[in-house]
Amino acid sequence: MVFPGRYESLAEIADFVRAAARETGLDDFSIYAVETAVDEACSNIIEHAYQGEDNGVIECALTIKPDRLTIVLEDQGLPFNPKDIPDPKLSVPLEERDDHGLGLFFIRQMMDEVFFENTGPERGNRVTMIKYKEHLGKKHRHLRGHGNRVTMTKDKEKKVG
Amino acid sequence: MEIKNIEYKHCDLVAVSGRIDSATAPQFSENLNRINEKGRFKIVVDFTDVPFISSAGLRVLVNAQKNCKRFNRGEVVLANVPPNIKSALELAGFTLLFRIFDDTLTAVGNF
């Protein structure tokens, strides 16, 4: 699904993602966690990749598997490098708390796996986020395989002569 | 998102309905600022009808708290916070910054 890159879209994206999370069979807090991560990621896309509203769209692809929900968000905005964002300071006194990094922190805390990549030489980002069903959370991930895909092609026979 | 404001003798009750996200956070911020501009710094934010709050909303709360606690003139407290939001607040270390009450009556009564 493609959404306009404006903050107004966040509620609709949330509905879309929440429905998928429910269908995956995630528990209540996991559904909230997924909604949070996606909201934060989309807000970041609008604010940072697109430098404001109405400068591009957000593509959202959801894959529901028996044990997980995979969310992929893509934009055509400025390249984002998560290493540029420092971790927020979470246990400092009120006067020292600043505005930065909480969104990215939530994304990483709320989802089980998060991958960021640039999709173009000058523009474009893709973030892939995975949430596993509760009984197969982070600590059991080593038991899970990543699946297999076999691709077979048959070319049309070349005519000779 | 809608906000209902009730002015009590000793504090202001801010009852929010709806998501607090990047779209609605500015409206939330403006509402709290307006209370401060009246010289009032004791605020109860009622979360009964808030299904979701993002870091944008949390930022508004932190800034409001900084303003209210300055010169010891007041405080922002939270009431009736749903369990999911409470968990998110704990994760972000916000439970260190805000007192949370189970209901608005107790929260208002505390001032």
Residue A21 in domain: yes
Residue A156 in domain: no
Q: How far apart are CA B66 and CA B75, in angstroms?
A: 9
Alpha-helix runs per DSSP H in chain A: 9-24, 28-44, 102-110
The confidence score (pLDDT) of residue A101 equals: 86
Q: How far apart are CA A87 and CA A81, in angstroms?
A: 13
Q: How many domains does chain A have?
A: 1
Apex CA A33: angle with CA A32 and CA A37, to 5°? 120
ipTM: 0.95
Q: How far apart are CA A57 and CA A77, in angstroms?
A: 9
For A53-93, how does the pLDDT look when each residue is reduced to its tens digit (9 = 90+)? 999 999 999 999 999 999 999 999 999 888 888 888 888 88
The confidence score (pLDDT) of residue A157 equals: 65
Q: How far apart are CA B1 and CA A143, in angstroms?
A: 43
Question: In this complex, which of B23, B62, B88 lies closest to A8 when CB atoms are compared?
Answer: B23
Residue A151 in domain: no
Question: In this complex, which of A10, A40, A94 lies closest to B55 when CB atoms are compared?
Answer: A40
Phi, then psi, of A45 in degrees rounded to 5: -60, -45
The confidence score (pLDDT) of residue B104 equals: 96
Residue A44 in domain: yes
Residue A96 in domain: yes
Residue, of A97 and B110, whose pLDDT is higher:
B110
The CATH homologous superfamily for domain B2-109 is: STAS domain (3.30.750.24)
Q: Which domain holds residue A105?
A: 2-140
pTM equals 0.88
Check: CB of residue A85 under 8 Å from CB of residue A104: yes
How is residue A78 written in tokens?
């400025």
Residue A106 in domain: yes
Place of tokens 């990543």: A146
Q: Please tell me if residue A1 touches chain B, with a CB cutoff of 8 Å.
A: no
Q: Could you report the average pLDDT of every consecutive run of 10 residues in chain A (161 residues)?
A: 98 98 96 98 96 98 97 96 87 82 94 96 96 66 54 67 48
List of E strands, chain B: 2-7, 12-17, 42-49, 75-79, 100-101
Q: How many residues comprise chain B?
A: 111
Closest residue by Cα to residue B108 from B84, B63, B83, B77: B77
Residue A153 in domain: no
CATH code: domain of residue A51: 3.30.565.10
For B59-109, how does the pLDDT look when each residue is reduced to its tens digit (9 = 90+)? 999 999 999 999 999 999 999 999 999 999 999 889 999 999 999 999 999
Q: Is the dihedral of CA A131, A135, A139, A141 positive or negative?
A: negative
- List the single best residue of A3, A17, A36, A44 to mutate versus B (max B Cβ within 10 A): A36
Residue A146 in domain: no
The confidence score (pLDDT) of residue A135 equals: 63
Strand order in the sheet with B42-49: B2-7, B12-17, B42-49, B75-79, B100-101
Q: How far apart are CA A144 and CA B62, in angstroms?
A: 40
Q: How far is CA A129 from the centre of its chain?
A: 4
Question: In this complex, which of B22, B59, B66 lies closest to A7 when CB atoms are compared?
Answer: B22
Q: Please tell me if residue A14 touches chain B, with a CB cutoff of 8 Å.
A: yes
